[in-house]
């Protein structure tokens, strides 16, 4: 090989290298985020949801009226801009319904910053004179917490179950999916009602209180234990289509154990599908919690949740006096949050669709 052709090849490769430098690789995540940003509805939903979550987290610090202060002089007050009664600093525990810790700290900060002033009752008051706006904010904490935690519980159970069933295949898969089918045949509500009635019994409750699990935690677990079925089916389908890929074979060749392959290689790759189902499960869970609270089986007073608020608002509807604000505002809060979650889930599903990559 003479020097001239060597030089020519060198230049050719140098030119290719220059060209390659200009091209930027895009990961699936970046591509998805770019597509998501173009969907304005989804972006608005995302911003809305993040702000709702932040407000819910910081609720004790907001200048709202105490959600559990009974004020018999202001029963059933319609929405108004009149000044609200002052906050009584000595009765903070009872009026805010907090048991110390971080919540107490936040309320103390609020009292230091805003003093005794609070936002007037622009959403009216209920049958005990409690401010509806404040109850909506405090109820948001419970409803959102149920949605997120229960979904995470169902995520953990569903993904592990589906990934194991999909990877092992054969008889193990068959048995596992039969169990899922059997569970599908039972309407959830029966299971939940039975579990709730068992766990609400005094003796069982006493035992659980010792372990520090209060009623809301039980609720999270029950709801999460019901919603893992769909997640496991979806993950199983994905795993079955992924398990014949070459990188799985490579991992097996170098001696990776089955468990390692499942959790280290397969699960991260089904993440996109899981994320979409996650954002679509949260509204279902919140809706389910609202249903149960409406029936009186879910969150119980003095805790507040949106479902409970709608229930209480509904129970005072009479043909004589229509207290529309007790139903409209909690219902609106619930509806807008669920709407935003559904919109975001749809947007995510379109953004993460691999068939639309680089479009």
Site residues for other proteins per CB under 8 A: 182, 184-190, 193-198, 201-204, 283, 287, 290-291, 294-297, 307, 310, 313-314, 317, 319, 322, 324, 327-328, 331, 334-335, 338-339, 341-343
Give CA angle at 228 (224, 229), nearest 5°. Answer: 140
Smallest distance, other proteins to C-beta of residue 119, A: 24
Smallest distance, other proteins to C-beta of residue 339, A: 4
Residue 221: partners with Cβ closer than 8 Å, 6 or more residues away: 150, 153
Smallest distance, other proteins to C-beta of residue 111, A: 34
Helix (H, G, I), strand (E, B) or coil at 324: coil
Question: Is the CB of 60 or the CB of 330 nearer to other proteins?
Answer: 330
Question: Is the CB of 229 or the CB of 262 nearer to other proteins?
Answer: 229
For helices 215-242 and 271-295, the axis angle rounded to 10 degrees is 150
Smallest distance, other proteins to C-beta of residue 259, A: 29
Smallest distance, other proteins to C-beta of residue 283, A: 7
Give CA angle at 131 (129, 135), nearest 5°. Answer: 125
Question: Is the CB of 247 or the CB of 314 nearer to other proteins?
Answer: 314
Q: Are 85 and 71 in contact (CB under 8 A)?
A: yes
Q: Are 143 and 307 in contact (CB under 8 A)?
A: yes
Question: Is the CB of 115 or the CB of 296 nearer to other proteins?
Answer: 296
Question: Is the CB of 268 or the CB of 296 nearer to other proteins?
Answer: 296
Q: What's the sign of the alpha-carbon dihedral 6, 7, 9, 14?
A: positive
Question: Is the CB of 225 or the CB of 310 nearer to other proteins?
Answer: 310
Q: What's the sign of the alpha-carbon dihedral 140, 341, 233, 352?
A: negative
Smallest distance, other proteins to C-beta of residue 243, A: 21
CA distances from residue 142 to 238, 328, 353 in whole angstroms, order as listed: 33, 19, 33
Joined tokens for residue 321: 């006096």
């Amino acid at each position: 090989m003479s020097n001239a052709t060597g030089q020519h090849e060198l230049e050719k490769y140098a030119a290719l290298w220059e060209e390659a430098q200009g091209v930027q690789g895009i990961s699936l995540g970046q591509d998805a985020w770019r597509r998501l940003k173009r969907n304005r509805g989804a972006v608005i939903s995302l911003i809305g949801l993040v702000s709702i979550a932040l407000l819910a987290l910081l609720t004790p610090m907001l200048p709202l009226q105490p959600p559990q202060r009974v004020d018999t002089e202001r029963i059933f007050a319609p929405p108004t801009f009149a000044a609200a009664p002052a906050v009584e600093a000595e009765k903070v525990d009872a009026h805010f319904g907090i048991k110390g810790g971080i919540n107490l700290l936040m309320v103390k900060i609020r009292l230091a910053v805003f003093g005794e002033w609070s936002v007037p009752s622009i959403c009216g008051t209920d049958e005990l004179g409690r401010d509806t706006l404040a109850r909506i904010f405090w109820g948001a904490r419970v409803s959102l917490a149920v949605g997120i935690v229960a979904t995470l519980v169902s995520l953990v159970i569903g993904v592990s179950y589906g990934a194991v069933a999909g990877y092992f295949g054969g008889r193990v898969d068959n048995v596992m999916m039969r169990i899922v089918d059997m569970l599908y045949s039972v309407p959830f509500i029966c299971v939940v009602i039975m579990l709730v009635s068992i766990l609400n019994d005094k003796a069982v409750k006493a035992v659980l209180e010792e372990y520090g699990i209060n009623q809301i935690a039980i609720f999270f677990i029950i709801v999460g234990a019901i919603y893992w079925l769909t997640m496991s089916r979806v993950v199983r389908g994905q795993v079955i289509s992924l398990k014949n890929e070459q990188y799985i074979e490579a991992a097996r060749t170098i001696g990776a154990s089955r468990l390692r392959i499942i959790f280290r290689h397969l699960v991260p790759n089904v993440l996109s599908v899981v994320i979409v189902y996650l954002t679509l499960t949260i509204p279902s869970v919140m809706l389910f919690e609202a249903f149960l609270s409406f029936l009186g089986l879910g969150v119980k007073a003095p805790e507040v949740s949106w479902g409970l608020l709608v229930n209480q608002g509904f129970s005072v509807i009479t043909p004589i006096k229509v207290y529309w604000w007790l139903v409209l505002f909690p219902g609106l809060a619930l509806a807008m949050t669920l709407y935003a979650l559904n919109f975001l889930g749809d947007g995510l599903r379109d953004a993460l669709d691999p068939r639309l990559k680089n479009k």
